[in-house]
Amino acid sequence: MFEIGKKGTPEPGPRPDPSPVRTESSPQRSSAASSREAAVIGPSIHIDGDVRGEEDLLIEGEVSGTVNLKNNSLTIGPQGKVRADVYAHSIYVDGYLEGDAYGSERVNVRKSATVKGNITSPRVSLEDGAKFKGAIEMDPQAGQNVINRGAQQQQPPRTAPQQPPQTQAAAPKPVAQPAKPESPSVVKTGAVS
């Protein structure tokens, strides 16, 4: 710890720390996810639209639209405000989420979070103190359903090819004919000579 000089006092001067402490911006990530850094949407960033990606994401800013990270984790930080449906492998909410959350592995709502929307995931946890308004669906098949829903969100809906509208000339309405007096019908039978 201390190196003692000749007179029994620690030697003056700065000493390098042999074990530097590394702080992570998102300690709630799983051990598999902590081996890679997450992309960050900072507190001053506002996004309106669809967010898709193939890496973990930390949102500290504001996002409106949809967030689709089907194979990665999404963390909504304490300053984050998300008004979107979110699709991810794991979802951690510390901030504000207004929309449905679909986690193929888990959804974790922390005590500082406010969630207004439905949660669908095989594993869901709500910490004491979290604010939640919605429904929860926990189903082992929910994970597969999440991936399918997320894939459908990325692709435009399949519809029949659009045909140009046909313009038809309006058929003239029949003009009412005045009623004619009925004439007696002549019916001939037999042979004509």
Q: 121 near 143, Cβ under 8 Å?
A: yes
**CA-to-CA dists, residue 60 to 92, 98, 122, 174, angstroms:** 12, 15, 26, 70
Question: Torsion-angle region of residue 8: left (phi > 0), alpha (psi -120 to 50) or beta?
Answer: left
**CA-to-CA dists, residue 46 to 51, 63, 109, 121, 131, angstroms:** 12, 6, 22, 27, 24
Q: How far apart are the first and last CA of the chain?
A: 143
Residue in 25, 27, 135, 30 with CA at minimum distance from that of residue 88? 30
Q: pLDDT for 121-149, tens place per residue?
A: 999 999 999 999 999 999 877 666 655 66
Q: pLDDT for 30-78, tens place per residue?
A: 434 445 688 999 999 999 999 999 999 999 999 999 999 989 999 999 9
Q: pLDDT for 13-40, tens place per residue?
A: 444 444 343 334 444 444 344 456 889 9
Question: Radius of gyration over alpha carbons of the chain, in Å?
Answer: 35
Q: pLDDT for 152-175, tens place per residue?
A: 555 544 444 455 555 555 555 656
